[in-house]
Structure 1
Amino acid sequence: MIQSNFMEKLLDGVEVEWKPLGKVLVRTKGTKITAGQMKEIHKDNAPLKIFAGGKTIAFVNFEDIPEKDVNREPSIIVKSRGVIEFEYYDKPFSHKNEMWSYHSKNENINIKFVYYFLKINEEYFQNIGSRMQMPQISTPDTDKFLIPIPPLKVQEEIVRILDTFTELTAELTAELTARKKQYTYYRDKLLSFKEGEVEWKELGAIAEYSKTRIGSANLDESNYVGVDNLLQDRAGKSTSNYVPTEGNSTKFLPNDILIGNIRPYLKKIWHSNCIGGTNGDVLVIHPISEKINSKFLFQVLADDRFFDYNMQHSKGAKMPRGNKDKIMKYPIPIPSLAEQERIVSILDKFDALTSSITEGLPREIELRQKQYEYYRNMLLSFPKQEV
């Protein structure tokens, strides 16, 4: 009811016309260039952006490609192969010639409004593309696609609202990126010790792999941790979608450290706060020395230097696994317990801002994204014309 009333007020009784995309926008071609050529002519900070599929881009000088292939209009770029999606860009650009783009010469069409409408329909185009061996769509797929044409002032108001949400999310994401860089800088600095400054021991001298088991009756989605619900980039864990119903699992205790042992470069690691169970794809490291603070050990093992070491000694090419013997030989610095606690207290503050899924910036970004999606869906729901 709220959605209906809002849209009725915004439209103020005006009927929304639907037209084929190709009839209201100008479609433009790209430039003949390969990914290899893009890499060769790329120059950092050059003014002209060239798009290829997915996230592949290059920045080049204007003289690097024909002038006729340069698009200077705010446009919607159609990524038509592989990952099918739409991107809005309002600076000079070009793209590979198997892609295409649209811009508006119609004073009654706000190109950013059309972009937002296409974004909520990406799944429709992805479903069309999935019929091919290599997912792809063709120009008729977008040219014939019907889009709503509300009054220009309505388009502009919708764009203003949605831009506000995207700008806020972008600011929060930039802040999170900065915090992560700051966190990494301080962790590297705090965990770097000069030769002779502290005692060093192999991991196996201060910790061991869990030797105990736990029955399935004691497990649920909150305390069963598989490699699938360990989150990448040190982000902890999520609720498990799978819990074993019979047999025993490897038991972990509070303050144990769980590390995903498949594809170590994903940096899956979690400091346990409960009793639970896991499987053979997750290593459970149990501290056994009174000289080590478990949170300090977690920070050492969450450092890039450990994951680089783990990858260096991993086994297998397609699906590398950590070498359990080599992991236990990883050198661990052992400063005084007071110094370990000081380091942990500093890094815990950064961790709350960057890695927590219930507080800090990631939670804020998640809430803003949900809010944006709600308003986007509401604002772009127009009644279809009866045929």
Structure 2
Amino acid sequence: MSKLDELIKELCPNGVEHKPLDYAFDIIAGGDVPKEFFSETRTNEFRIPILSNGIEDKSLYGWTNKAKIEKPSITISARGTIGWTSYRDYPFYPIVRLLVLTPKVKMSLKYVYHFMKSIENDYNVPKVGIPQLTKPMIQHIQIPLPPLPVQEEIARILDNFTELTAELTAELTARKKQYEYYKNKLFSEAEGIQAVTLDTIAENCDSQRKPVTSGSRENGDIPYYGASGIVDYVKDYIYDGDYLLISEDGANLIARTTPIAFSVSGKIWVNNHAHVLRFDEYATRRYVEMYLNSIDLTPYITGAAQPKLNQKNLNDIKIPLPQLPEQQRIVDILDRFDTLCNDISTGLPAEIEARQKQYEYYREKLLTFKEKMS
């Protein structure tokens, strides 16, 4: 029997009380910061953060010399990322996009944090005007309140899961920085580099492309590619082999939220929003793919409303290409980093996802209590 089982058997064998949130907490809505308490820059006097939504790296809206919340609390995002829950153990000043829970009774705030995380996607906020979570929407939420030792043991167990996920996430961030460092270094310092253009090392197959409107496509299992990847699956194909697709148009050429160059293999259909290049060697194709995804293409892009990388400008891009053995060496090194940083089946992202699912599974089990009948 685990320590938690022993505590439950001893302290709450017949279930636990469920109380409305406003029984256990003062629920405080964020407000405007008076001008005299506000500073855009951090100083010795103005060093208390002003927080908006619940996500740490997007929540700083300036600094104040007067904290509205001074004791540990739970914050819930009221707009934007509605429901996002954070645990705060430092003074801060919340503004209008934030709700704050400060305890009225003795309890484990970390226990409450995990409970509120478990329901952060369940708020029924009307989608009219500017959707906003308000105090009346949450004050009657029922929270199970087992005895304090039980709360603390549950918090300890769940904290272990979140700390491991945080460690893995920090490692992933470090690996990505390392990846970028080595990528830039290898592309600039490789032996025997010659500046070449794509039309001298690859065959452009754009003339075979054929766009088909969604209503005219026959459903099948052949990938139908556009500027940023697969957009559909169709019955027929126009290419069969190994190719590098490069975005020809679209906002992603500027935003770069997904790679603008991506390798594809096998039978495929491509519309006229992606260039299609064929290379003689895998190493060259992969090298060019990595290089194009690492550089700023703005000088080669035309059009403001509809960004476009036409074939002429694509061919003007200079590729610092070493000899084939050096290309292969660089690709081998960067492929290992890429797998570690981005592979959702074997790399760090896969492990982080597995730990998160494990945390959510145990969170649901540990926070489910039979309600004690009065």
TM-score bin (small chain)? 0.7 to 0.9
* Secondary structure in 1 matching 2:143: strand
**Aligned counterpart for 1:120 among listed residues 107, 118, 121:** 118
1:277 is the counterpart of 2:269: yes
Report the AA paired with residue 315 of structure 1. G
The whole-number CA distance in structure 2 between the counterparts of 1:273 and 1:10 is 57
CA distance in 1, matches of 2:238, 2:316: 22
Could you tell me which amino acid in structure 2 is paired with residue 174 of structure 1? A
Q: CA deviation at 1:80?
A: 1.1
**1:243 matched to which residue of 2?**
233
Letter of the structure 1 residue corresponding to residue 318 of structure 2? P
Match of 2:303 in 1: 315
Matches within 5 A, 1:57-72: 57-58=59-60, 64-67=64-67, 69=68, 71-72=69-70
- 1:305-341 per-residue CA deviation (whole Å, 9 max, x = no partner) reads 1xx2157614343x64443432232111221112212
The structural deviation recorded for 1:134 is: 0.8
Distance 1:224 1:309 in 2: 27
Q: Give the Cα–Cα distance (whole angstroms) in 2 for the partners of residues 311 and 377 of structure 1.
A: 51
Aligned to 1:368: 355
**C-alpha distance in structure 1 between counterparts of 2:337 and 2:34, whole Å:** 42
Distance 2:39 2:183 in 1: 34
- Structure 2 gaps, min length 5: none
Aligned to 2:40: 40
User: Structure 1 259/47 Cα, relative in aligned 2: closer, same or farther at 3 Å?
Assistant: farther
C-alpha separation between the residues in 1 aligned to 2:103 and 2:88? Answer: 13
Does 2:147 align with 1:151? Answer: yes
- Asked if the contact 2:31–2:94 (Cα under 8 Å) also holds between the matched residues in 1, the reply is yes
Q: Decide whether the 8 Å contact of 2:224 with 2:270 is kept in 1.
A: yes
The one-letter code sitting in structure 2 at the alignment partner of 1:295 is R
CA distance in 1, matches of 2:168, 2:307: 34
Aligned residue for 2:128, secondary structure, equals: coil
Within the alignment, does 1:95 sit opposite 2:94 as a pair?
Answer: yes
- Indicate how the Cα distance of structure 1 residues 186 and 252 shifts in structure 2: closer, same or farther if over 3 A, else same: farther
Identify the range of structure 1 (207-216 vs 179-188) with the bigger mean alpha-carbon deviation. 207-216
Task: List aligned pairs for 1:222-233, cutoff 5 A.
Answer: 224=223, 226=225, 230=229
Corresponding residue for 2:20? 20
User: CA contact under 8 A between 1:210 and 1:251: conserved in structure 2?
Assistant: no
Please name the residue that 1:237 is paired with: none
- The aligned counterpart of 2:193 is 198
1:286 aligns with 2:278: yes
Q: Which residue identity lines up with residue 74 of structure 1 in the other structure?
A: P
Q: TM-score, normalised by structure 2?
A: 0.81
Cα distance change of structure 1 residues 280 and 291 upon mapping to structure 2, 3 Å threshold: closer
Shift of 1:73: 1.4
Q: CA deviation at 1:79?
A: 1.5
8 A contact 1:209–1:286 mirrored in 2: yes
Q: CA offset at residue 65 of structure 1?
A: 3.5
Q: Please point out which of 332, 336, 346 is paired with 1:349.
A: 336
Distance in 2 of aligned mates of 1:362 and 1:6: 32
More strand by share: 2
CA contact (8 A) 2:54 2:76 kept: no
Task: Report how far residue 94 of structure 1 moved.
Answer: 1.6
Return the alpha-carbon distance in structure 1 between the equivalents of residues 59 and 70 of structure 2.
17
Equivalence for 1:142: 138
- Residue 180 of structure 2 aligns with which residue? 184
Provide TM-score, normalisation by structure 1.
0.78
Q: Could you tell me which amino acid in structure 2 is paired with residue 287 of structure 1?
A: F
Residues 224 and 231, structure 2, Cα contact 8 Å, conserved in 1: no
Contact kept, 8 Å, 1:42 with 1:59, in 2: the verdict is no
SS at match of 1:326: helix
Which range moves more in the overlay, 24-33 or 79-88? Answer: 24-33
Cα deviation digits, residues 164-195 of structure 1 (max 9, x gap): 1111111111111111111111111111159x
Task: Report the equivalent of 1:233.
Answer: none
**Structure 1 residue runs without a partner (length 5+):** 231-239
Specify the alignment match of 2:75 in structure 1. Answer: 77
Q: Deviations over 1:3-22 (max 9, x none)?
A: xx999776321321111111
Shift of the alpha carbon at 1:53? 2.9
Distance in 2 of aligned mates of 1:73 and 1:111: 11
Give the residue type in structure 2 aligned to 1:198.
I
- What does the per-residue CA deviation read over 1:178-232, in whole Å, with 9 as the maximum and x for residues that have no partner? 11111111111111159x9632222222221454469988962xx61545984xx
Per-residue CA deviations over 1:132-165 (Å, capped at 9, x if unaligned) read: 3211021111222211111212211111111111
The equivalent residue for 2:167 is: 171
**Aligned residue-pair number:** 354
CA distance in 1, matches of 2:158, 2:291: 42
